[in-house]
Structure 1
């Protein structure tokens, strides 16, 4: 086809249809969609009449990863993420740095003319787990705590890897400085957090002002790029900025967006996710022939080009898994010690004393910095109660979902590499990097072997370990009944109020009184219509009260994020149904 625009459009349409068909087929076959897409891409790339032009890595690093990470961060369970932020941060930073350094020394020793900075650069490329690859883990029914830890790690470790890669590449040309590297890393994270938080808040504020659901969702599509681009310009990590913006937007959407807007976000972002995730795995398979051909040309022979890359990739993957096993073992041990350090009796005793102070049975302790006025004391008591309630809820969470050795095995084996590794490898400079084609080939093989080997065998590992998300582990099993009871109590309290008002501000009680008084002058059919409308308005008031109570409960950690989101989705569905019926009355 002579017109490149039409050819590109045809490729995009064909690719989208292929992604949808393969994902549908994968569901019916019980195979992970990403794995099947990689396999199909590999087969297509080997066809003699197919020529895949070089795909710029910026398309993935700038065009694909920010929206995917943003979307995943929006849905990140914030309560569980906070509880395990320590081990997640350790896996995202310390584990990546340790893996990169060990790999860097390995490549420096075994590949002739490869300097230590180049080796560390390749180690940084191979160290982070792939955020998109974690979609395979979510479908296996393992502990939600393990899924959250893997998700949090994959969302944050790209920043560590890419900042380390940037530092190593700079060292190739200008030399290495430890303090310069530390300063670069700290600035990259700080700038990302600040810009991401500001962009997330601004986008959420603008979306609150915009009424239409479609226009609202369109603004959300811009959010990851609004966070990524200025952060990269300032020398920070644009991917972390996109993640932070997603977390801020996701947490604020519960209270500031309408049910229609939340539903529109959910449906449209799921579509974007499916297409982009499928595209990156398909591209990963499609790039096989070009990478292999370039490496063979650089090595001078087929045997030398392929064999050297294969054994380097296998050893590198083994190193990654060994280092990861050691670090995850330390995390498993540390989490058991963490539970032992929390004194439940002391927390409950302190809670009883707060109740005694609030009831007047004990006086508020004197001392410097203690609140004096009754209002200050009430605020301090409320704050301390929240902290105690959160600590007790955290302890229950750690005890009910311990990270034992079986979960540790899953954490090790589920740490797959993916398309991020391949895209980052292709950013290696051509000047100053010897054997660049080999390094890219090694990165491709590590990602491919990791994804196919670990991804295909992970379900078998879960079955052998007899791990499953049982009814006891399910967040909706025991919590949903307790939460429903609290929401019904909030509804009853709101409906018993003497000052009921409709959503437009009209006093509800006066409207009802007037219509009951005038029933004799209103035709029977119209009377039934008015009474039905008032009943629908009462249910809207009930839903509003339950949503306020739900927002309050989301801060103390008593209920899991999955339970809270399920309840919010039910309230949103009820409200949209009621508003449609009110409009029809």
Structure 2
């Protein structure tokens, strides 16, 4: 019965801390850590099984973040994100392992590297602090993508290092384990995400549909772990796949329900891990003081480790910023424009001209295809050209300068993964309490030092506010024009039918066309006779959104906002039509 009051109090504390964080301008996780630390002074010893965090909390938490991942921006910066999540973690783990090997020789090199792997990854929960501070969407995407993916690198290194204590360290064995762990995780995660979209499509009950969605991260996590892969990466892959397909496969009611319920789950889980962090710290410190004559060794090593991590991160991010390749991108733009001009002059109904010239491979491929296949091929190539040019426009509009690099470095905080992974060290590990305290201190100092000072750093650098929810007025107006054009195209199709298969009266089509041509989308006529027609137009606009998301001309935030508006419009119409229409 003690568990129920604790859960009730915990939920109340998380809710109040969220409200206070907004009013005080302080990140909620920092308030929860402080509350937990103060409460631990008056409570009996408190400990949580790390498996509960690794298996019960992290999969749904990372899944929820992955569903909201801005996939367009993630794809554009996939290379630097992968470098941050893999190369930087591996290098940091080896350097930290060297530090611990010389300062704590009783560990041996494999266990020293294991501790380095524990301290190396940034945390998705800690990154939530960054998203509330109005930083560039590109920077937020890079930080969030890194924190979602680097857990695989750290946990595989941890497993390999612990196994090497008994079997001996093997470089190629570690590389093979990492490749297997990530490959299995991605395959299972993507398959589970696709099954999730298709199975839930046939469940009409919104409540049952949402309940089924809650188990998806665990369905991806468990078989992946059984096969030796990274279950957390599988949960992330399932989340990204689900997020990309929800526009096509989910109904408006399902999207609204999922959004509200997952935000609630995320708030509670995120708050719980930081509250647990504060509650456990006192007992970890006490155990270390009793066995190692005070906490000063742990404090010194934690500060040294955090310093190494920041120095290595600074060097790597500096390299990323320096290698943006403005000249290379300009040459790439010229090549794409040249190819686009040639496609504009190309007639798919005539055989492709022979002879030499630029793009001979494309020319030979088109020569072998019939006119219909050539038209389809030209359309595919033109779509890729459009996407490539839009990507280059994005890089030009959102360059990474030294100020953004400073934020990427300083916002790389440690959090719950570090805490949970440290407690999975074998019980026979030498100086285990000391190692756990080092991990706790690195996470705590990182959160307090970097988290509290990050707003000051942003003000000092004079970076203009541009949160990921901020939408450009010009972009929104352009997207509205695109969607109105899609609705007009649907009206211009001959033989327009409603949901029951009956022809739509021409008078209604004319009225809708008149409204769309000169007024905002939400001013479509509202009499009952037009409700069916309005649903058809909303479906046309939603299809155009899917196409635009593939082209990359608009940001994920703008597309997501418009999808929410369309869903709200459709739900409003369905309410007006009454239950008999369902």
Alpha-carbon distance change, 331 to 377 in structure 1, aligned in 2, over 3 angstroms: same
**1:446 has 2:442 as partner:** yes
Q: Distance in 2 between matches of 1:225 and 1:282?
A: 23
**1:391 has 2:388 as partner:** yes
**1:170 has 2:163 as partner:** yes
Q: Of 286, 289, 306, which aligns to 1:317?
A: 306
Alpha-carbon distance change, 497 to 551 in structure 1, aligned in 2, over 3 angstroms: same
Alpha-carbon distance change, 141 to 498 in structure 1, aligned in 2, over 3 angstroms: same
The aligned residue for residue 98 of structure 1 is: 91
Counterpart of 1:141 in 2: which secondary structure? coil
CA-atom RMSD in angstroms: 2.1
**How far has the Cα of 1:584 moved from its partner?**
7.5
Q: Of 8, 11, 27, which aligns to 2:6?
A: 11
**1:284 has 2:277 as partner:** yes
Alpha-carbon distance change, 153 to 555 in structure 1, aligned in 2, over 3 angstroms: same
Task: Tell me the TM-score normalised to structure 1 length.
Answer: 0.92
Contact preservation (8 Å) 1:547, 1:568? yes
The aligned runs of 1:564-579 (5 Å cut-off) are 564-579=559-574
Q: Of 34, 41, 44, which aligns to 1:46?
A: 41
The aligned runs of 1:227-306 (5 Å cut-off) are 227-299=220-292, 301=293, 305-306=294-295
Q: Distance in 1 between matches of 2:499 and 2:571?
A: 13
Q: Distance in 1 between matches of 2:317 and 2:190?
A: 30
Contact preservation (8 Å) 1:501, 1:509? no
The aligned runs of 1:553-572 (5 Å cut-off) are 553-572=548-567
The aligned residue for residue 209 of structure 2 is: 216
Instruction: Point out the more displaced range, 397-406 or 488-497.
Output: 488-497
Q: Distance in 2 between matches of 1:537 and 1:44?
A: 58
Task: Tell me the TM-score normalised to structure 2 length.
Answer: 0.92
The aligned residue for residue 335 of structure 2 is: 346
The aligned residue for residue 120 of structure 1 is: 113
Q: Distance in 1 between matches of 2:139 and 2:354?
A: 42
Alpha-carbon distance change, 338 to 11 in structure 1, aligned in 2, over 3 angstroms: farther
- Residues 14-35 of structure 1, C-alpha deviations (whole Å, 9 max, x = no match): 1111110111111111111001
Contact preservation (8 Å) 1:143, 1:473? no
Contact preservation (8 Å) 1:168, 1:176? yes
Q: Distance in 2 between matches of 1:191 and 1:82?
A: 21
Counterpart of 1:168 in 2: which secondary structure? helix
- Residues 286-338 of structure 1, C-alpha deviations (whole Å, 9 max, x = no match): 00111011112221x2xxx3111111100100000000000000110112457
Q: Distance in 2 between matches of 1:463 and 1:188?
A: 41
Q: Of 63, 76, 82, which aligns to 1:70?
A: 63
Q: Distance in 2 between matches of 1:245 and 1:10?
A: 34
Q: Distance in 1 between matches of 2:310 and 2:501?
A: 61
**1:378 has 2:375 as partner:** yes
Q: Distance in 1 between matches of 2:183 and 2:347?
A: 41
Alpha-carbon distance change, 338 to 435 in structure 1, aligned in 2, over 3 angstroms: farther
Counterpart of 1:508 in 2: which secondary structure? coil
The aligned residue for residue 456 of structure 1 is: 452
Q: Distance in 2 between matches of 1:472 and 1:70?
A: 19
**How far has the Cα of 1:364 moved from its partner?**
5.0
Alpha-carbon distance change, 234 to 584 in structure 1, aligned in 2, over 3 angstroms: closer
Contact preservation (8 Å) 2:468, 2:557? no
- Residues 516-553 of structure 1, C-alpha deviations (whole Å, 9 max, x = no match): xxxxxxxxxxxxxx992211222112111111111111
Alpha-carbon distance change, 531 to 584 in structure 1, aligned in 2, over 3 angstroms: farther
**How far has the Cα of 1:508 moved from its partner?**
2.3
- Residues 89-147 of structure 1, C-alpha deviations (whole Å, 9 max, x = no match): 00000000000000000000011312111110000000000110111111111110000
Which runs of no fewer than 5 residues in structure 2 stay unpaired?
Answer: 356-362, 510-524
**1:408 has 2:397 as partner:** no
**Aligned residue pairs: how many?**
557
**How far has the Cα of 1:503 moved from its partner?**
2.2
**1:538 has 2:512 as partner:** no
The aligned residue for residue 415 of structure 2 is: 418
The aligned residue for residue 3 of structure 1 is: none
Q: Distance in 1 between matches of 2:320 and 2:338?
A: 30
Contact preservation (8 Å) 2:137, 2:466? no
**How far has the Cα of 1:500 moved from its partner?**
1.7
The aligned residue for residue 308 of structure 1 is: 297
Alpha-carbon distance change, 581 to 403 in structure 1, aligned in 2, over 3 angstroms: same
Q: Distance in 2 between matches of 1:221 and 1:473?
A: 25
The aligned residue for residue 521 of structure 1 is: none
Q: Distance in 2 between matches of 1:283 and 1:416?
A: 17
**How far has the Cα of 1:70 moved from its partner?**
0.3
Alpha-carbon distance change, 295 to 241 in structure 1, aligned in 2, over 3 angstroms: same
Contact preservation (8 Å) 1:495, 1:541? no
The aligned residue for residue 201 of structure 1 is: 194
Alpha-carbon distance change, 123 to 498 in structure 1, aligned in 2, over 3 angstroms: same
The aligned residue for residue 359 of structure 2 is: none
Counterpart of 1:273 in 2: which secondary structure? helix
Q: Of 489, 493, 500, which aligns to 1:493?
A: 489
Contact preservation (8 Å) 2:153, 2:178? yes
